[in-house]
A and B are shown apart, each in its own frame.
Chain A
Amino acid sequence: MAKILDAVDAVVVGSGAAGSVYASVLAEGGKDVLVLERGGERKLTDLYSSQIWARRLKWGSPHVEEQGPDSIWPNFNAGHGTGGAAMHHFAVWPRYHEEDFLEQTLYKRSLDWPFEYDALRPFYDQVQSDVGMSGDAEQETWRPPGDPYPMPPVLVSNHGRVLAGGFAALNMHTAPIPMAILTETYNGRPPCIWDGWCDAGCPIGALANPLVVYLPRAQQAGARLQSNAHVTRVLTDDSGRHATGVEYFTVDGERVIQPADVVVLCAFTFENVRILLNSRNKNHPDGLGNSSQLLGRFLMCHPSVMVHGMFDEEMENYLGTNGGQLLCQDGYDKQSDPGGAFGSSQWLIGYTVKPNDLLGISMSRPDIFGEELHEFMREGAHHLGSMVAIVEDQPMLENRIELSENTDKFGVPRAKVFYQTSSEGRKLWRTAAAQGVDIMKAAGAREAWHGPQAGQHIMGGTILGEDPSKSVLDAHAQSHDVADLYVGGPSVFPTSSCVNPTFTAHAMAMKSAQHIVENWK
């Protein structure tokens, strides 16, 4: 027997980037909101400055099974516990460009969003003002229309200055990276001290994680947060046309039913899909909201390449932020790739490096071992320059999330992923890898090299669209099939662009949440 709780107006599944925004807007709109978080409670005082300890912020279970030739790096990209993946995100917040919303219309490629940039712009501006972004809008010559940033850009150390010289030598433009990181005191939050511990979580609140912006606002407005609640299904009424709540399990294995007028899934890309597929019932035998048979489809992941150079100068590569110091979007034009690939690319320049971990000094040359490794570490700690290119992935039908035959500890099928980088993405990656080495050499590196293809950001699976036969959600991120069921996070994106998705996830969540409040029945 399940324990049935009192009904709430809205239940939000997930307390990360999108979930915290939904909870805030709905609660401030006068709704009774409950946020269910799969992981444990996490406080700012839990955010220890250590690459080793930071791994606790990342996803670990239930294990995501991967098939296909490429990985979407589920554990590295996802999170668990209060704040979700946004607790370890780098706060690089460029906007999507106008053309990212119209790729089918403009280029006869990819997909269209069900609205244009102008519809999302007010929400970008609102979120930017709420969190306190830093940057230089005028220097970002590629930037779509938007309010100027409320504060000056992040630090540029020798690392950024030296690498910028390489871009300039090749007639490429750089600008400060737009970041959700404070450079001045803002709404009582202090500025960054350039310590480079962003992905370990920022306990001072200079980086706009959910614990310091939208979750406090939501709780101030009366929203409640329930940790260790493993949501397994969205429930519907007998007609199957309306969401009525969710089922979840406590850590002790107790099954609980939480009735709600509105259900918002913000549990990250693969969990959003897993929960909806597992919610199949007599009215929705293939999963909830899957009349299009596209639930789980169009999975995307940004191909990325880290490029390094060893310099004579003291690079001060330990100062700054994990996301970098400077941005170059000269490759944003969808048709500018010299190899003829379709899609955009960007450079994030001069990110901080710690000695260890996946993005650290040691892993930049995994082939070195023994005493030579110690020599490399001593040199790299002061003379290594690093930057990363992120390129656009294409939405492909065959890239998908399904349910596995294996189950988690609650008997729910695990997520199974099939993913292969699009051929366009692979070409763009090759261009970026070669270009990056040229830039490093132009900047004066005595050695320059690039790493293997990696994957950042997981998008798609519950895509937006106008046509219910070609998408899962409508323009407000509401299910085409089930009223009162909404989804948040990068899983709703029909195109990936080449930019980090968290800002757009925030803006999209705010747009949908305001729609819910304004149209509440």
Chain B
Amino acid sequence: MTISKQNITRRTFVDRALKGSLLSLSFKVGGSALLMTPREARAKELPLQHLDADQTGLLERLGEGIVPGSADSGLVHFIDHQFGVEPDDCMLIAKFFQVEPPYKDFYLGGLSAMATAAEQNMGKPIDTLDESELKQFIQQISKPGTMVDGYPLFLFYLCLRSDGVDVVYGTPEGFRKLNVPYMAHILPPEGWNG
């Protein structure tokens, strides 16, 4: 059996016709809901609903160390948005790993455990680590089973890594970077509000 060239061509055409990343979510701005991708939300510096500036900075720093490019792709806006979604409809991979909702608690616990681990292992805060030190630190916490004060740090690493991969590669734009066809039946609607 061979692949239909017609199908591939049609799908490729649809794919190429796409302009955005089609991870559009509904972000609240001044009491109104605006539809945009996490990347756009981050570029416009839209206010976050659940995370403060310190938490945002820490998540982006770690995200960049694990999946470079994830910060600009809107990693933190994606995560922050999903904190406001009911567990049944949540799109964070933490759901698959049987993390108990609310997922915000898991992420805040993860950031706290990361900060503790950095002080214990590297002797200084994460935001003062240079690139080489950050890489060394991530290598330490990415070992299966890593725990800090009873918190499953390896699981947090897996989730944050997956979130980064989601926003960088999990969209038609991301597929294009890898030169593989997206072949959507139905593209996520831009009107969906999460």
Size range of the chain A interface in the assembly? 35 or more
Interface residue A268 (Cβ < 8 Å from any Cβ of B): no
Q: Does the CB pair B170–A73 fall under 8 Å?
A: no
Interface string of B162-194 (1 = CB under 8 A from A): 100110011100110011111111111100000
Interface string of B1-14 (1 = CB under 8 A from A): 10110010001000
Q: Which of A45, A55, A367 contacts B91 (CB 8 A)?
A: A55
A32: chain B residues within 8 A (beta carbon): none
A155: chain B residues within 8 A (beta carbon): 1, 3
Q: Does the CB pair A156–B1 fall under 8 Å?
A: yes
Interface residue B124 (Cβ < 8 Å from any Cβ of A): no
B92: chain A residues within 8 A (beta carbon): 55
B contact patch SS? loop
Q: Does the CB pair A48–B3 fall under 8 Å?
A: no
- Among the listed stretches A22-30, A91-99, A193-201, which one makes contact with chain B, having 4 or more residues with CB under 8 Å of it? A193-201
Cα distance, A75 to B91, chains bound together (Å) = 12
Q: Which of B66, B90, B142, B185 contacts A204 (CB 8 A)?
A: B185
Cα distance, A408 to B23, chains bound together (Å) = 31
Interface residue B50 (Cβ < 8 Å from any Cβ of A): no
Output the nearest chain B residue to A73 by Cβ-Cβ distance.
B98
Cα distance, A391 to B35, chains bound together (Å) = 45
- Among the listed stretches A2-10, A350-358, A495-503, which one makes contact with chain B, having 4 or more residues with CB under 8 Å of it? A350-358
Q: Shortest beta-carbon distance, A306 to chain B, in Å? A: 14
Cα distance, A327 to B159, chains bound together (Å) = 32
Interface residue B135 (Cβ < 8 Å from any Cβ of A): yes
Output the nearest chain A residue to B69 by Cβ-Cβ distance.
A374
Give residues of chain B (22-67) contacting chain A, Cβ–Cβ below 8 Å. Answer: 22-23, 65-67
Size range of the chain B interface in the assembly? 35 or more
Q: How many A-B residue pairs have CB under 8 A?
A: 160
Q: Does the CB pair A61–B87 fall under 8 Å?
A: yes
Q: Shortest beta-carbon distance, A378 to chain B, in Å? A: 6
Output the nearest chain B residue to A366 by Cβ-Cβ distance.
B158
Interface string of A473-514 (1 = CB under 8 A from B): 000000000000000000000000000000000000000000
6 smallest beta-carbon distances between A and B, as pairs: A60-B87, A195-B183, A60-B88, A355-B169, A49-B184, A381-B178
Write 24 A-B pairs (CB below 8 A) sorted by A numbering.
A39-B88, A48-B188, A48-B189, A49-B185, A52-B23, A52-B91, A53-B188, A56-B88, A58-B95, A59-B88, A60-B87, A60-B95, A61-B88, A155-B1, A157-B3, A318-B181, A355-B170, A362-B165, A362-B169, A370-B66, A370-B68, A381-B178, A381-B180, A382-B179
Interface positions of A (Cβ within 8 A of B)? 39, 45, 47-53, 55-56, 58-61, 63-66, 71, 73-76, 80-81, 152-157, 183, 193-197, 202-204, 318-319, 354-358, 360, 362-363, 366-367, 369-371, 373-374, 377-378, 381-382, 452
Other A-B pairs beyond A58-B95, A157-B3, A362-B161, 17, CB < 8 Å: A48-B189, A51-B170, A58-B96, A59-B88, A61-B88, A152-B1, A193-B11, A193-B183, A195-B184, A204-B185, A356-B169, A362-B169, A366-B142, A366-B158, A370-B66, A374-B69, A382-B180
Interface positions of B (Cβ within 8 A of A)? 1, 3-4, 7, 11, 22-23, 65-69, 86-93, 95-96, 98, 100-101, 135, 138, 142, 144, 158, 161-162, 165-166, 169-171, 174-175, 178-189
